[in-house]
Amino acid sequence: MRGISRWAIAGLIALTMATVTSTCAAQAPDTFRWIDFHSQADQDVVVWVTRALDEQRWSAIREIGVEYDAALVVTTYRSSPQASTNRDRFTIWSVSLENRALTHIMDGATLRLTDWLLLNVGSPRELGALYDDCNECDATTYFTAFHYDQQHHRWAGRWMQGGNGVPVWTMRSPPGVTQTQVYAVMADPNGHEALGTWDRLDYGKLKPAEDFLYLYDLDWQSDVERTQLLSGRDAATMKDRLCRAQDAVPGLSRGQDSSLCQATQKPHYERKPTTTPPPNNHGQSLPPGARQ
């Protein structure tokens, strides 16, 4: 187990399975490092974070990542040692390594730490994540990215509204509506990455279908999150990029196999070889005038 259990600290029982998965491939910033719970050199950080979380509800500390003077902390909560592991809930915190100030970032289920994303060229990469809002339910999946906020000296999530990031996939379609979804985090020629989403609501015979295409990126000057509703040529370009997903970050795309994308992509025609004989062919094995 990567993390440390509160029950183990109390001398009761240790959790045996984590609910946080990671598929990170890109290089993390040089100023960032994951804490090794088994290393004696990192025990001062583990103890510091544990004391900062002392009054909070958690069962295990799963991950601690440190950048400068703040720690990004992932805790999980399980109602009892006998409870099913797939019902664990997670919480993300920022813990100050200067004064133990604690900042709650978000809660959710089934956290997937995906990759270090270059959301703003010239700025440090940020840790992308997908997560659900509930376990064993018709969940909504959200996307966010965790970054060190230099102004406030703490960790924060991107595009946070109402305690959650960007909704990219949901199993809760409105009654009587067929909903089709596509999303991808994609890179432009400069390597800058952004999230694109396409949501179509088909109302059947009640009214025409509606398409909603969004681009989520950072303003390169202010480093502030932007949310843009696309239309016209920009929307058409986004549809093509989303469905092709040629520049998508692995693990951060879905829906490319949907009927929506299949209808969008132009068919590729190949020239077929001619198999019928020419009109002047009379079944002769040799051309006229040739020596027999």
How confident is the model over 164-190, as pLDDT tens digits? Answer: 999 999 999 888 999 999 999 999 888
Is residue 277 a part of any domain in this protein? no
Q: How far apart are the first and last CA of the chain?
A: 86
Looking at the 3D structure of the chain, how many domains does it have? Answer: 2
The residues of the chain scoring below 50 in pLDDT are: 1, 9-18, 268-270, 283, 285-287, 292
210 with 97, same domain: the answer is: no
Q: What is the pLDDT of residue 83?
A: 83
Same-domain pairing of 38 and 150? yes
- Residues 196, 153 share a domain: no
Q: Look at the block and give the residue holding tokens 């969004």.
A: 214
Sheet of strand 248-254: strand arrangement: 225-230, 210-218, 193-202, 178-187, 248-254
Report the C-alpha gap between 107 and 91 in whole angstroms.
4
Helices and strands (H and E) in the chain: how many: 4, 16
Show which of 168, 195, 229 is a domain's final residue.
168
Count CB-CB contacts under 10 A for residue 72: 24
Residue 150 inside a domain? The answer is yes
Q: Are residues 128 and 3 in the same domain?
A: yes
pLDDT on residue 16:
35
In a domain, 292, yes or no: no
What pLDDT is attached to residue 10? 41
Residue 270 lies in a domain: no
Does 290 reside within a domain? Answer: no
pLDDT for 136 equals: 86
The parent domain of residue 117 ranges over 1-168
> Residues 75, 201: one domain?
no
Q: Which two tokens stand for residue 159?
A: 């595009």
Please identify, among 168, 193, 208, the residue that sits at the C-terminal boundary of a domain. 168
Residue 279 included in any domain: no
DSSP letter for 50, please: H
Position 83 in a domain:
yes
pLDDT at site 265:
67
Q: In this predicted structure, what is the pLDDT of residue 227?
A: 98
Last residue of a domain, one of 168, 202, 235: 168
Q: Is residue 258 part of a domain?
A: yes
The predicted pLDDT at position 271 comes to: 54
Residue 243, SS3?
helix
- Does 164 share its domain with 194? no
pLDDT score at 26: 83
What local confidence, expressed as pLDDT, does residue 22 receive?
72
